[in-house]
Structure 1
Amino acid sequence: MNKKELLDELEQARVRTESLIVSLPEDKLEVPYHPGVNPPLWEMGHSAFFYEVFVFNLLDGTPSYDPSMDDLWDSFHVDHKDRWSRDLFPG
């Protein structure tokens, strides 16, 4: 698989994932705290951050969509309990 094919596949995965998340009603995004699980909204933001930084940037030189948000989605900078605070996330 060449670079363009990989980027196309990643874009298709992004579109599918986003369509699944936006199809969920708000109450399905609220899950009880668990020390071994991340909340769905944080996990989606973290996944997007991971792909931006470690895949798109390295493959394509594409910078983060919003570099000011990188620390919010970086698991090295956000304690596990803090990931459960909805006030932490942008609209």
Structure 2
Amino acid sequence: MHFIVYCIDHPGMVERRLANYDAHKAWLETSPLRTLISGPLTELDGTMIGSFFLYEADDIENVRAFASRDPFNVAGIWETVDIRAFLKRVDNR
């Protein structure tokens, strides 16, 4: 199954986000999930305001558990973490 993880930062988290980036990146490399797409959400000016992931996983609980231990979440950067099942209908790659 596919799952989207959509995370919005608390206001003013750019510096904290950058300070935790290396730990976050290292954490993602340990993922038991298959990462199809990931990257920061931004304002139009490029300011990072959150994170987006598209995972392939057996069940949502594995995705929840992985996201809950992400260094960005542990450091209190993310204000909201929304995890939803995703049904891919079109893939034009």
TM-score by length of 1: 0.33
Larger C-alpha radius of gyration, 1 or 2? 1
Higher-strand-fraction structure: 2
Higher-helix-fraction structure: 1
